[in-house]
Structure 1
Amino acid sequence: MRYKGVRFCVFTLTVFKFVNGYLMTKSPPRYVDDYDNSVHSKGKFLCLFLGICSLSYHQVSTARPGLDLVYQWKQLEFDYQSEYDRQADIDMEIFIPGQPAPIDTDVYYAANSKESKVFVTIPRFQSGIPLTLGTVTDKMYKGNPVIAPYPSWSWHRSPKTCATERIVSVYRVMGQPVHSYEIPSRLLEPRSILVTPVIDIRDKQCEDTFVYIADCQTYSIIVHNAREGTFWKASDKTMYPYPNYGTFNIDGDSFDLMDGVLGMAVEPYSPGKDRRLFYHAMSSPTENFVYTSDLRNQSIFMHDPESSPHLFHVQDAVKEVMDGILPKKSRKIYEAQYDTFVKWCCQRKLENVNEDVLLVFFAEKSKTLSSSTLWAHYSMLKTMLNVKRNIDVSKFYKLSAFLKRKSEGYKPKKAKVLSLDQIDKFLLEAPDKDFLMVKTYRGERRTQSAAEAIDKNGVMYYGLMSDMKIACWNTKGEYGDRLYSDIVASDSVTLQFASGVKVVKNLKGAQELWIMTSRFQKVATDTLSSSETNFRIVAGKVDDLLFGTSCKGKKHITGGTAGGGYGLISTPRG
């Protein structure tokens, strides 16, 4: 199997709608696994493409029941109208049997079970891939479940012509197109490959929606504001691959893959609380996060995607402390004041924040606000600028002199929050035995990981490549800490390369874990054999999987989740 250069005419975000609703596509002390680092460089440079993203939150764990086999393939087969049509595509090399390799899966449960669907995505990295998105049918072809094009063949034909109806990168899939935007070319490079899109819905009407899309080859995250139809890019060194983790060793095969940011998952939405987007480079041992309030602020990254490294590193620790200090109501007020200032700057096309900018801002404010309110706004904005942009407003003496003149004798009440100096003293000097606090994610994996997902209770699930296991981590604790991390599934045959991870809510409200696995190491080394089982979809009930693990939270049911199951398939197919 020879991998040729891939030509993407344009990257597109497409949303579909079903008639009957929406498919939301809205351990050891320090290590979560053990890994033999003596791997050998071999194979080809590839990049994973994870096509469908579920907005459902993920949760997994294998204790007793484990993950059940739902589908398996030796090679992918597609739903042609006739054998003649299949052969015609083969003759034109539109379909090269044995070439397509699935990379992700998702599930839609319909009230009418006959309309339920299991989606599969297939990256078009080379010729011979007839479709990039399909649904698994109940048909079989030579022992392989047949995949039908979704929504129809017309969306997949002639990809090089860049037809209006086409699928290149899909993040939500439904029945009828309702939202489509093309990503601006200025945000892309010839080597760009967009993967694992994550959807952040901020309201019940799905109007305030953002999409975060990893570009694993330019080491950046593209942000899309669906309401405004705008895009921007954020980059940071934590999105780069680690050279020491560029060689993969899976079931005796080795290959090189220097992928940057790929695994991404957003924690459950909680009104009044900032939301974290967790992410990691595939070829790396670490887990990172950034607050979505920062990613959603276009003004920060408008002129330079790498303008704010502090948002991705040390400042997170300070912000963790601030979130713990400020009551929920106060956090909203502080963030609202900061947002007001940011909008004011954007309206005036001000790129940098300095003392002169703040003088003009508060001069305008002083025309309508009393001196006491002016001081309150100053205090809140001073704190937020310190946390958000590492700007020490307390050194702006002209600004403080201006506010003092406006107050004329007014003495503000003592703030009921800690100053940055007090916070620093607390972080650096307070004994851990008295004030234990998570500062950074010190725990690391000893092997690579691709996709990840978070369930509604904040438990993350992800695959461990060399170990062929599925791990869980309760995001309320330290990454890799045995008190919060565990292994939920382990199988050296069925879990060789977990490239797609989803948590889906079934018709009875129970969460399920669905995983796409493959012998990707055989794809990467051109040794894939169609006489052997190469691709699988496995699934299990989250509460059953988490039973007895360190990841289990108080809100998880203890075993035996009521019916509903992944009733799409009663017995393994293929």
Structure 2
Amino acid sequence: MCTYRTRLAGATLWLAMLGLARPQSMPADTETPPFTTLYKWKHIDFEFPSERHRSYAIFNGDYVPANVLPLGLEVYGSRIWVTIPSWRRGVPATLATVFRSGGINSPRLRPYPDWSFHRAFTKNNNCSGLTSVFRMNIDNCGRLWVLDSGQIDSQDSPKQVCPPSIVVFDLRTDTPIARYVIPEKYVLQDSLYSNIVIDSRREDCSDLHAYIADTWRFGLLVFRESDESFWRFTHHLFYPDPLASNYTLHGLNFQWTDGIFGLALSPLDNYKERTLYFHAMSSYREFYVDTSILRDSYRVNDSATEFKLLGESRGLFGQSSASAIDDNGVMFYGLVTRDSIGCWDTRKPYQKKHIGIVAKDTTTLIFPNDVKVDREERQSVWVLSNRLPMFQAGPLDPDDYNYRIMYADTVEAVRGTVCEPIVHTYREWHK
């Protein structure tokens, strides 16, 4: 009979064969100019309390390396946050960090804020921790806003074990300071709240609003922190385009009917206002709405004409994932079937002649799933690529680098391209 100790030793040996037992040190590389690859992984590993904990997690199925897919990222100070939704069994932690300094090829992720917040390790079923995080955003006051779907095993046998909620952490102390449960009346059958952006203009963030995309039930939820209230907009522009719901990527063909997903806020314009740009994942087009409309709960039922089409189509294979805008007004976005990062100067008309490509690579940029711009004085655009469609279709190649975090200086990335900014007011192109 195989004893526990024998199985434990076998699990440790298997980890070593996968290259997970000890991270390898190497400098960041520039394999995809203008982007530098800071980190890349064949499989995602974690900083367990001990090697014995890691081996036991593999032994009992709490950690299945092939089932761990990084999805979203955020950057602040010296750290990078990574989300790992609990799509399949074997995801031990759904939110983690790595250092921004690099120096290690495939570092182990450190569960955030610690192991006690993660179900697989604590067996905590009272919804006080984190269940399955998709994306997050950091506000101007150093707080991390985490969007937790509350659903596990989404790829195999979906279970809504906790209500979808927003969990807020103070990054100075790495402690939770609030949890806002999304009201049941805004969680429709099969709702998937998958993206969140934070909008605040005051130094103390007292005017903070969050905009949250319901990708599968085509809604835009608004949260106001001052009175902890929610309201939801619906609009036909939030729906997928049937003509853009067929995807082809590296010989893989699949159909997704994902609605509103990409959300990007402009800098403040001359009127001290912002524009929210948005698009469905299954779409070739971009849309926009003034945030003054979104922040007014009384406009929910009389705002149909305020959501507008932006310029021309991106064209065939123009499906886009996440997007983000830097302080110069340049939008960066993932082109998921083109292995590319696109760009557009928001001061220019949204036309093909003004839409550019920052980088393209058929290896490193396979499915650029998340895009963020950091808050440094000299900003960088950050990209996480993860081969999501291949992950969903079957196991990824354990001998290949499947996941990457990359970055590029936002100014240098668009220098000499059609996306290089020109000086105009933000509203000029609307006229």
TM-score bracket, normalised by the shorter chain, equals 0.7 to 0.9
Deviation, structure 1 residue 554 = 4.3
User: Which residue is 2:126 aligned to?
Assistant: 162
Aligned ranges for residues 177-192 of structure 1 at < 5 Å? Answer: 177-192=176-191
User: SS at the partner of 2:65?
Assistant: coil
| Deviation digits for residues 150-170 of structure 1 (CA, Å, limit 9, x no counterpart) | 000111125771332335444
Deviation, structure 1 residue 210 = 0.3
User: Which residue is 1:458 aligned to?
Assistant: 329
Alignment check: 8 A CA contact 2:97 2:111 kept: yes
In structure 2, C-alpha distance between the alignment counterparts of 1:180 and 1:235, rounded to whole Å: 25
In structure 2, C-alpha distance between the alignment counterparts of 1:274 and 1:212, rounded to whole Å: 15
1:150 aligns with 2:115: no
CA pair 210-106 structure 1, distance change in 2 beyond 3 A: same
CA pair 444-266 structure 1, distance change in 2 beyond 3 A: same
User: SS at the partner of 1:178?
Assistant: strand
Deviation, structure 1 residue 222 = 0.5
User: Which residue is 2:351 aligned to?
Assistant: 480
User: Which residue is 1:494 aligned to?
Assistant: 364
Alignment check: 8 A CA contact 2:79 2:100 kept: no
May I ask how many residue pairs the two structures share in their alignment?
Answer: 355
In structure 2, C-alpha distance between the alignment counterparts of 1:527 and 1:153, rounded to whole Å: 26
User: SS at the partner of 1:144?
Assistant: coil
Which residue identity is paired with 1:464? L
In structure 2, C-alpha distance between the alignment counterparts of 1:231 and 1:160, rounded to whole Å: 27
Q: Which moved more, 1:260-269 or 1:157-166?
A: 157-166
User: Which residue is 2:390 aligned to?
Assistant: 522
Deviation, structure 1 residue 124 = 1.3
CA pair 542-128 structure 1, distance change in 2 beyond 3 A: same
1:313 aligns with 2:308: yes
User: Which residue is 1:432 aligned to?
Assistant: none
Which residue identity is paired with 2:206? E
Deviation, structure 1 residue 137 = 5.5
Alignment check: 8 A CA contact 2:374 2:381 kept: yes
User: Which residue is 1:513 aligned to?
Assistant: 381
Deviation, structure 1 residue 286 = 0.6
Aligned ranges for residues 240-255 of structure 1 at < 5 Å? Answer: 240-255=239-254
Deviation, structure 1 residue 258 = 1.4
Aligned ranges for residues 264-275 of structure 1 at < 5 Å? Answer: 264-270=263-269, 272-275=271-274
User: Which residue is 1:503 aligned to?
Assistant: 373
The structure with higher relative contact order (CA 8 Å, sep 6+) is 1
User: SS at the partner of 2:313?
Assistant: coil
Deviation, structure 1 residue 272 = 2.9
Aligned ranges for residues 13-52 of structure 1 at < 5 Å? Answer: none
Deviation, structure 1 residue 296 = 0.9
Higher strand content, 1 or 2: 2
In structure 2, C-alpha distance between the alignment counterparts of 1:165 and 1:514, rounded to whole Å: 27
Higher helix content, 1 or 2: 1
In structure 2, C-alpha distance between the alignment counterparts of 1:184 and 1:124, rounded to whole Å: 22
* Aligned pair partner of 1:70 in 35, 38, 49: 38
In structure 1, C-alpha distance between the alignment counterparts of 2:59 and 2:351, rounded to whole Å: 51
Deviation, structure 1 residue 143 = 7.0
In structure 1, C-alpha distance between the alignment counterparts of 2:379 and 2:198, rounded to whole Å: 18
Alignment check: 8 A CA contact 2:86 2:131 kept: no
Aligned ranges for residues 98-117 of structure 1 at < 5 Å? Answer: 98-109=66-77, 116-117=78-79
Aligned ranges for residues 265-414 of structure 1 at < 5 Å? Answer: 265-270=264-269, 272-301=271-300, 308-313=303-308
* Aligned pair partner of 1:82 in 46, 50, 69: 50
Deviation, structure 1 residue 252 = 2.0
In structure 2, C-alpha distance between the alignment counterparts of 1:120 and 1:274, rounded to whole Å: 30
User: Which residue is 1:441 aligned to?
Assistant: 311
Which residue identity is paired with 2:50? S
In structure 2, C-alpha distance between the alignment counterparts of 1:480 and 1:162, rounded to whole Å: 50
Aligned ranges for residues 128-143 of structure 1 at < 5 Å? Answer: 128-136=90-98
| Deviation digits for residues 463-496 of structure 1 (CA, Å, limit 9, x no counterpart) | 11222111111111221331x3211111111111
CA pair 168-526 structure 1, distance change in 2 beyond 3 A: closer
Aligned ranges for residues 171-210 of structure 1 at < 5 Å? Answer: 171-172=137-138, 173=144, 174=171, 175-210=174-209
Which residue identity is paired with 1:151? P
Runs of 4+ aligned structure 1 residues displaced above 6 Å come to none
In structure 2, C-alpha distance between the alignment counterparts of 1:526 and 1:165, rounded to whole Å: 30
In structure 2, C-alpha distance between the alignment counterparts of 1:467 and 1:164, rounded to whole Å: 40
CA RMSD of aligned residues (A): 2.5
In structure 1, C-alpha distance between the alignment counterparts of 2:316 and 2:91, rounded to whole Å: 34
Alignment check: 8 A CA contact 1:445 1:480 kept: no
Deviation, structure 1 residue 504 = 1.2
Residue segments in structure 1 that go unaligned for 5+ positions in a row: 1-61, 110-115, 315-439, 556-574
CA pair 160-222 structure 1, distance change in 2 beyond 3 A: farther
* Fraction of identical pairs, as percent: 32
1:551 aligns with 2:422: no
